[in-house]
Structure 1
Amino acid sequence: MRVQMLGLCRFSYLGLRGYQVEHDSIAARRAYLYDPDRLARRWLWFTTVALPGWLAQTDPDFTLVIMTGPDLPQPWLGRLQELCDRVPQLQLSLVPPMDYHLQACRAAVAPHVDPVAEVIGHFRHDDDDAVALDYVAATRRDFASVQELWRPEGRLSLDYGRGLMIEARGGKLRITPRICHNMGVALTVFLKPEIPDTALHYNHTQLARWMPGVQISRPLMFIRSIHGDSDSGDMGPGLPWDPEEGAMKRLLRLRFGLARGDLVDLARQLHEAPAGGGTGGGAGGAG
């Protein structure tokens, strides 16, 4: 069975709906999202935390659509274009502001649906989060084990619940291991190809309303970032878990291709950067 892994990452997409931080006009939202200091911080998160895992997936058979507006300021638009030109799995989608956010998400993703796929594994990814290096491979493997649950309705969610919450506040880094339910990152929604939805069409906290779901609590599969530009500024519900003593550096390196020192430097850089741009509304959020 041909399963396409198809994701959507919103990078400061200029839309009025779909985020917890709201604005009254396109002009107000453009000023907020395109603030130069804010965009510099978003780029730091994207390149330091989110990107390494996608560039080193053990299964390279996936597509991640990076959605932004055609008027995203330079140099950020040029940097995204250069990145997507260089990495075949990354596809840049320039979507003008639309009345309804889900229509915009569909417009971004639809051109990239594989016409011969029998199942589409839709996922959302925020530009400041990370998935493990084997997320795509594990998702495809584990879906094969539970695909009979998918067949009756053509809808199924597969959630990896073990992750790390990283907080960057006051120039300091804090890492909290958590097991969460349908956090949104490392969560895949499997749909029949004829269903014209994306992962964003389903509120990840209410997936049971629309489909059966499976959660896998091992191995460690995601990082979720919490900081001043986050769309949601708290961890949400979850359970603690305890890595072996002294194992955090190894886990970051082996599971995500990240160095703890780089995350510490990121927290420091964000604290020292200009404070313009306000708080709230990230890339997914909005990016």
Structure 2
Amino acid sequence: MRVQMLGLCRFSYVGLRGYKIEHDSYEERRRFLYQPDRLARRWQWFTRVALPAWQAQTDPDFTLVIMTGPDLPDPYLSRLRELVAGMPQLRLELVPPMERHLQACRAAIAPHVESDADVIGHFRHDDDDAVAIDYVASTRRDFRRVKALWKTEQRLSLDYSRGVMASVGPDGIELTPRLCHNMGVALTVFLPPEVESSALHFDHSKIGLWMPGVAITKPLMFLRAIHGDSDSGAMGPGTPWSLSREQADRQLWQRFRLRRQDLDSLARES
């Protein structure tokens, strides 16, 4: 059974709805998103936190669509074009501002759905979060284990629940290990290729309303950043688990290709 792994990452997309921070007009939203200091911070988080693990995936067979607007200011639009040219798994979609956010998301991913795939593994990825370097490989493996459940309804969510919350403070990053179900990051929604939906079409906090789900609680699979530019600054519900500083430092590199000192530096710059 051929599973296409297809993700969507929104980078300062000027559209209405779809976010916790709302604006009344495109102009107001554009002014907010395109503030020079904000764009500079988002770029640093995207390239220094989100990208390293995507570049190091043990299974390189995936597509990650970067969605932004055609008027994204330079140098960031040019930099995105350069990134996409240098990494075959990335696709850049320039979507004009749209009032209905889910339609915009569908417009971004629709050209990249492989119609000959049996199943599409849809995922969303925020531009300041990280997934583990074996996220794609693990998702394919674990889907094979539960595909009989998918066949009953042609919908299934697969949730990797073990993560680390990275909170930005004046002295650097504070890491809080948490077991959090259906956070959105490292959550895959499996649908048939002809279904005109994506992971964004289902509220991850209520995903059980639409489909059965499987939670996998080991190993550590995501890092979620919490800082002033986050759409939601809350850590959310979850269960703490133990990780010493030394273990955390090893896991940062082994799982995400990140170093604590780089995260601390990024936090202080933010």
- What TM-score results when the alignment is normalised by the length of structure 1? 0.93
Q: Is the 8 A contact 2:172 2:263 kept in 1?
A: no
CA contact (8 A) 1:59 1:136 kept: yes
C-alpha deviation, 1:99, in angstroms:
2.2
User: Alignment partner of 2:185: what SS?
Assistant: coil
- Residue 259 of structure 1: how far off its partner (Å): 0.8
Task: After superposition, give the CA deviation of every residue in 1:260-285 in whole Å (9 maximum; x if it has no partner).
Answer: 11101111111xxxxxxxxxxxxxxx
- Tell me the distance in 1 between the aligned counterparts of 2:127 and 2:171: 20
Aligned twin of 2:114: 114
CA distance in 2 between partners of 1:127 and 1:244 (Å): 27
In the aligned structure 1, how far is the partner of 2:52 from the partner of 2:172?
A: 22
The answer as to 2:96 corresponding to 1:96 is yes
Q: Is the 8 A contact 1:169 1:228 kept in 2?
A: no
Whole-Å separation in 2 of the counterparts to 1:2 and 1:52: 26
Question: Among the aligned pairs, what percent are the same residue?
Answer: 67
The one-letter amino acid of 1:120's match is I
Structure 1: how far apart are the matches of 2:267 and 2:100? Answer: 34
Paired letter, 1:19: Y
Cα offset, 1:150, TM superposition: 0.2
For residue 52 of structure 2, give the secondary structure of its aligned residue in structure 1: helix
User: What amino acid maps onto 2:7 in structure 1?
Assistant: G
Separation in 2 of the partners of 1:244 and 1:22? 38
Q: Is the 8 A contact 1:171 1:269 kept in 2?
A: no
Cα drift, residue 16 of structure 1: 1.0
SS of the residue corresponding to residue 111 of structure 2 reads helix
Show the counterpart of 1:278: none
1:207 aligns with 207
User: More relative contact order in 1 or in 2 (CA 8 Å, sep 6+)?
Assistant: 1
Range 246-255 or range 100-109, more displaced = 246-255
Cα deviation, residue 171, structure 1: 4.1
Q: Tell me, which stretches of 5 or more residues in structure 2 are unaligned? A: none
Which whole-Å CA distance do the structure 2 matches of 1:169 and 1:228 have between them? 10
State yes or no: 1:40 paired with 2:40.
yes
For residues 28 and 243 of structure 2, the distance between their equivalents in structure 1, rounded to whole angstroms, comes to 44
CA displacement at 1:244 relative to structure 2: 4.7
What is the aligned partner in structure 2 of residue 276 from structure 1?
Answer: none
In 2, the alpha carbon distance for the partners of 1:245 and 1:9 equals 30
CA distance in 1, matches of 2:137, 2:202: 23
Alpha-carbon distance in 2 for matches of 1:170, 1:15: 31
Specify the SS of the correspondent of 1:152: helix
Q: 3-state DSSP class of the match of 1:65?
A: strand
Cα distance in 2 between the residues matched to 1:114 and 1:86? 22
SS in 1 for 2:219: coil
Q: Which amino acid aligns with 2:256?
A: F
CA distance in 1: counterparts of 2:78 and 2:169, whole angstroms: 30
Once residues 147 and 63 of structure 2 are traced to their aligned partners in structure 1, the CA distance between those partners, rounded to angstroms, is 21
What corresponds to 2:123 in structure 1?
123
2:261 is equivalent to residue 253 of structure 1 = no
Count of equivalent residues? 270
Residue 236 of structure 1: aligned partner: 236
- Is 1:140 matched up with 2:140? yes
Say what the alpha-carbon RMSD is for the aligned residues. Answer: 0.8
**1:57-77 CA distance string (max 9 Å, x none):** 000000000000000000000
Contact 2:115 2:194 in 1 (8 A): no
Q: Deviations over 1:79-125 (max 9, x none)?
A: 00100011000000000011200000000000000121000000000
